[in-house]
A and B are shown apart, each in its own frame.
Chain A
């Protein structure tokens, strides 16, 4: 799986942690940050620690997904909605010290609070969800998965066609806003298609998401108006990135035992 280099680590927002003596105004947040590491700086005598998350760019230009997802949509969806979630999250985090220093994954799980979500959950989860979503697509995507992912899909769904049907059906039967996911379930050790409402993501149940599709109206309304079916089919045919899915599966296999490895017989 080493033929492409892709960070499968979904915690993609840049985390900055800085100290401020009381009375200092917090600096303006850099919106377009490409760094992936987080760094801490502590000094003696600092009295308050703030954490900020940055808005990460999608791994392609905003017009790279034309004509399937227009630049207009990406500008509004990423530049408007996603950015608002990040800013909203940062504003909320200003008020609390308890949640500092987490990666996005950790923050989502902690704020979900086992079903009793804290107010920060919704922003944190939506930031995570959107980062994951941009990564789940690529220009020239679609087609079929290869190798390990295809094998696992065929094992768990019977055939790729069957999986695709299930995915499309889940997307079309979602009430209100939400997301559709292909996840690897930890306990059951198999792939499944699930749909979640609003901001919920499978991280909170400790499952490992492989690809996702945003079914909030703002994701498709400008391009497809009410035609959800067309949007989902276009996503499956032209946008979904199976490369990324392969990378994610590879990483997931480190945590979930999917069966005996095939040992060649001499």
Chain B
């Protein structure tokens, strides 16, 4: 069963069959960026994009493929301990591949309307639920208003800070397609968004792993989170939103 799902996914991503395997098993490959490595300057420097895509994402893909090959072998040998043991490698590397494939589409260069606020239906949904786009951005960046006493703001910020200092995290603007509501989610490590709720569809994902910003922003994560909104691809997010909530 796992194999069939894998094959379907691989067709969706458009791939090549790995040599030597006779079965109907397809491996995954690194998707191309929809823009040049230097296209997101000065928000994200070229070197980060190159490393992020050619090294980090590539290694997720490679390790994901390796884990799947080993899984396939274990399945044919009915080797339960190995099957179970491989799950964490698949979750981490497969999750990494899924997430980064989404991230590349979530960004777009400024001259291709990166950072432009979202159009009608998504835009008004955001206004309805969060008040304004800025309020949403604040929430995702977990900065909140500077009101000292506001329990919700303080505790949410502490939670974010703690979570992000404890794990490497990813931040998401998600659509709950059953309740037709937007939500801001945080996942740890490379857990895909669905681990937070099976009805969640990612609209925007932001990689807050250190490798995504460290070379440029060093340890000042908040600058990275402030600036990345300048290259967020709201057009793509709107398309997904309109597809799920016509």
Contacts and interface: CB of A to CB of B under 8 A. Distances in A.
A76 B189 CA distance: 22
A80 B51 contact: no
B209 A217 contact: yes
Contacts of A84: 165, 219
Closest 9 CB pairs of A and B: A217-B210, A80-B219, A226-B55, A176-B189, A175-B92, A122-B166, A221-B214, A218-B210, A198-B166
Contacts of A226: 51, 55-56, 59, 211
Interface in A134-176: 175-176
B190 A222 contact: no
A216 interface: yes
B162 interface: yes
A28 B125 CA distance: 45
Interface in A174-200: 175-177, 198-199
Contacts of B219: 76, 80-81, 84, 218
Interface of A: 76, 80-81, 84-85, 88, 92, 119, 122-123, 126, 175-177, 198-199, 216-218, 221-222, 225-226
Given A217-B209, A226-B55, 6 more contacts: A76-B218, A76-B219, A119-B162, A175-B89, A177-B168, A226-B56
B167 interface: yes
Contacts of B211: 217, 221, 226
Interface in B133-171: 158, 161-162, 165-168
A165 B145 CA distance: 50
B167 A198 contact: yes
Chain B interface size, as a band, is: 20 to 34
A221 B189 CA distance: 17
B165 A88 contact: yes
Contacts of B209: 217
Main secondary structure of the interface of A (DSSP, over half): helix
A92 B55 CA distance: 38
A197 B220 CA distance: 23
Contacts of B190: 175-176
10 contacts: A84-B165, A88-B162, A122-B162, A122-B166, A123-B165, A198-B166, A199-B165, A217-B210, A222-B218, A226-B51
Interface string B159-197: 001100111100000000000000000001110000000
A150 B231 CA distance: 54
A176 B210 contact: no
A73 to B, nearest CB: 10
Contacts of A88: 161-162, 165
A122 B166 CA distance: 6
A92 B158 CA distance: 9
Residue in A80, A126, A221 whose Cβ sees the most chain B Cβ within 10 Å: A221
